[in-house]
Amino acid sequence: MQPSEMVMNLKQVFLSVLIFGVAGLLLFMYLQAWIEEQHTGRVEKRGEQKLQVTSGWGPVKYLWPVPRIMSTEKIQEHITNQNPKFHMPEDIREKRENLLLNSERSTRVLTKTSHSQGRDEALSNTTGSPTEKWIEEHQGAKTLFNKFSKMNWPVDIHPLNKSLVKDNKWKKTDETQEKRRSFLQEFCKKYGGVSHHQSHLFNTVSRIYVEDKHKILYCEVPKAGCSNWKRILMVLNGLASSAYNISHDAVHYGKHLKKLDSFDLKGIYTRLNTYTKAVFVRDPMERLVSAFRDKFEHPNSYYHPVFGRAIIKKYRPNACEEALINGSGVKFKEFIHYLLDSHRPVGMDIHWEKVSKLCYPCLINYDFVGKFETLEEDANYFLQMIGAPKELKFPNFKDRHSSDERTNAQVVRQYLKDLTRTERQLIYDFYYLDYLMFNYTTPFL
């Protein structure tokens, strides 16, 4: 065989191998993409199915009534599968993520096992690499995360300390309080049989405010007296001399109060198990109507452009250009369509989110359950019980829009009359767990 022929044969072999190699690579890439597509499709399908099961209905344009009485399994599913995702402005979300990172970093320093501490001592005599130090810190954080994940949920309930309550006039209030606590506790025992905590810890405690001096944890429920409660916490913290001298902006935008998710895991755990935990709730229908009136019937630089525009765009046929631009003038029926839609154009908001997803009453056993319907009485009893200054009384003024009539049962009926019976039923079903947990009367639908 001539040398030139040998060279030609080698070239042919090389080209054949190259072609087969490229073909094999392309086939592998195609198969990998196909497998990922199939997996993603299954995950999305399961997610949609879970969403439909959790919400209890499909998209709002296919409104149909669901049974008013849910099974025990269905109620347990509502309680255990709670992982709230709120619509949150980007800057706030970034601050929150940084806060979580800082909390975890500080945890790593505080919570190392004896084994990792021993390794620290050994490494302190040498110049450890950044990788070695990171591994040790990661192990320290992992240890406490594991410890907290094994924490017994729900958090234990404690007998209320009534030694500071001297006045007999609180006897009826105290009896009512004990009934509320017992009712909620029995409800959670019956329906909230959770063996695993399925929501992220920081989400669970993100609505809880901390007052260290009097050892109070207060879970914020918007439209249930939360603005005045935050004023009271500021006074108890020594940040103000009177609740009546604190403006709305100072309460909500001043960042004067600490939240429980700003602490490291050890701080969260300690406070949950030693502080007096309080939550104040409100009839779900009243709270919903109150939120709508506050956010959509008055000028608002956030809710109109963020929520209003999205709601009008999706639920108002032939909307005018001005409404699509500024988002003002949302109608209550449009707002309800948004609320009940499993494919909302914009996320949920704390002002109309369920209390069961804001405060997790079957994971955190609250020592005190107040109600908006008896707000002043409950709040002043609580203040006396925790040893607040005698002159400190819960303020009874309306935080904003003081000239408007307070949202009550009569006002709610005026708004509900514009809805169909099916829509009213679905609102009730949406807040079904809140109605059950806090023993509210079923509304006339």
Task: State CA 34 to chain mean position distance.
Answer: 36
Residue 193 has pLDDT above 90, yes or no: no
Is residue 429 domain-resident?
no
Helix (H) or strand (E) run with residue 235 in it? helix 226-236
**247: how many CB neighbours lie within 10 A of its CB?**
11
Contact predicate 142/116, CB 8 Å: no
Quick one: pLDDT band at residue 49, thresholds 50, 70, 90? Answer: very low
Q: What average pLDDT score do residues 121-147 get?
A: 43
Residue 188 has pLDDT above 60, yes or no: yes
pLDDT number for residue 118: 38
Is residue 204 domain-resident?
yes
Closest C-alpha among 279, 285, 244 to residue 412: 285
Q: Could you give the CA distance from residue 443 to residue 427 in angstroms, rounded to a whole number? A: 10
Domain count, the chain: 1
Residue 159 has pLDDT above 70, yes or no: no
| Paired residues of 279 in beta bridges | 219, 369
pLDDT number for residue 82: 53
**102: how many CB neighbours lie within 10 A of its CB?**
12
Per-residue pLDDT tens for 69-115? 566 666 665 555 554 444 444 444 444 444 444 444 333 333 333 33
pLDDT number for residue 62: 29
Residue 382 has pLDDT above 90, yes or no: yes
**70: how many CB neighbours lie within 10 A of its CB?**
18
Q: What average pLDDT score do residues 141-158 get?
A: 51
Number of H helices, E strands in the chain: 20, 5
Is residue 209 domain-resident?
yes
Please indicate whether residue 170 or residue 164 has the higher confidence score (pLDDT). 170
Q: What are phi and psi of 270, to 5 degrees?
A: -60, -45
Sign of the dihedral defined by the CA atoms of residues 239, 240, 244, 249, in that order: negative
Q: Could you give the CA distance from residue 24 to residue 26 in angstroms, rounded to a whole number? A: 5
Domain range for 390: 168-283+353-405
Is residue 416 domain-resident?
no
Residue 370 has pLDDT above 60, yes or no: yes
Q: Could you give the CA distance from residue 5 to residue 236 in angstroms, rounded to a whole number? A: 97
Residue 419 has pLDDT above 50, yes or no: yes
Is residue 187 domain-resident?
yes
Is residue 49 domain-resident?
no
pLDDT number for residue 168: 76
**Interior CA angle at 253 toward 248 and 257, to 5°?**
100
Q: What average pLDDT score do residues 415-439 get?
A: 95
Let me know how long the chain is.
Answer: 445
| Diameter of the chain measured on Cα atoms | 117
Sheet holding 368-371, edge to edge: 258-259, 208-211, 216-219, 276-281, 368-371
Highest mean pLDDT: which of 7-16, 83-92, 96-105, 249-258? 249-258
Q: What percent of the chain has pLDDT over 90?
A: 49
Three-state secondary structure call for residue 250? helix
Residue 420 has pLDDT above 80, yes or no: yes
Structure token digits, residue 67: 């049974």
Per-residue pLDDT tens for 203-232? 899 999 999 999 999 999 999 999 999 999
Structure-token match 């993100």, residue found: 206
Is residue 374 domain-resident?
yes
pLDDT number for residue 130: 43
Is residue 236 domain-resident?
yes
Residue 304 DSSP label? I
Please indicate whether residue 375 or residue 34 has the higher confidence score (pLDDT). 375
- Overall pTM surpassing 0.75 (yes/no): no
Q: Could you give the CA distance from residue 215 to residue 368 in angstroms, rounded to a whole number? A: 13
**431: how many CB neighbours lie within 10 A of its CB?**
21
